[in-house]
Every structure is written in C-alpha cells, then in structure tokens.
Amino acid sequence: MGLMARGGGGDHRYSSNMDNDSTQLSYHQPTGTIQVFINGIAYDVPSGGALDMAGTFGRDAMLVHSSGEVLPVDEHGVLIKSLQMGECYYLVSKSI
C-alpha cells in the first residue's frame, strides 16, 4: 500500500536519508483514507489498513509516534497497528 502527500497535487518524491535513491509514494486515493503527518508532511493513508513499511521505506526504516512510541512491525515489515487520523509520526532509521 502506498502513501500520497497532500497539497501540491500530483506525485510526491520522498527522499530518504537511509538510502541514496528516492521512493515514489503515490496511489489513487480510495474512499476510506485518513490523513496523518510523517516528518511534518501530510499524507493520505488507507484507514484501518496495514502499511507495508519495508516495501514503502525499506527494511531499515521505522515509524515513531510523536509520543515516542515505536510502531511495531511484523516479520514481513508490515505495521501491526494502524496509523491514527491526524497523528504525527517520524520516519527514522533503525541504524541510528
């Protein structure tokens, strides 16, 4: 599952400090999406759906809620918990 940045329209190129290339984050916005903030950028994500962290950001990435809680992933790199509407998350490298 992908993410789509809000504002600015079209596709958004997400640049990661965890690797040298960029990952295209886009999808056709289905009904049932929620807005979350990742590193200060608003994204529409599927509501109640599992986010494939490994496939979207790479195996070395993890999401941290603004409260400091690290969001757990399963053995395939998919988030165990759903993201919550309007919440702020930080994308960080596990190797820090």
pTM (2 d.p.)? 0.67
Residue 32 pLDDT greater than 90, yes or no: no
Which domain does 84 fall in, by range? 4-93
Residues in the chain: 96
Q: Each residue of 36-72: pLDDT tens digit? A: 999 999 999 888 777 899 998 999 999 999 999 999 9
For the chain, the 3-state helix, strand and coil shares in percent, each to the nearest 5, are 5, 40, 55
Which residues make Cβ contacts (< 8 Å) with residue 27, sequence separation at least 6? Answer: 1, 2, 3, 4
Domain count, the chain: 1
Residue 72 or 18, more confident: 72
Greatest Cα-to-Cα distance within the chain, rounded to the nearest angstrom? 36
Tell me how far CA of residue 46 lies from CA of 28, 35, 53, in angstroms.
11, 9, 13
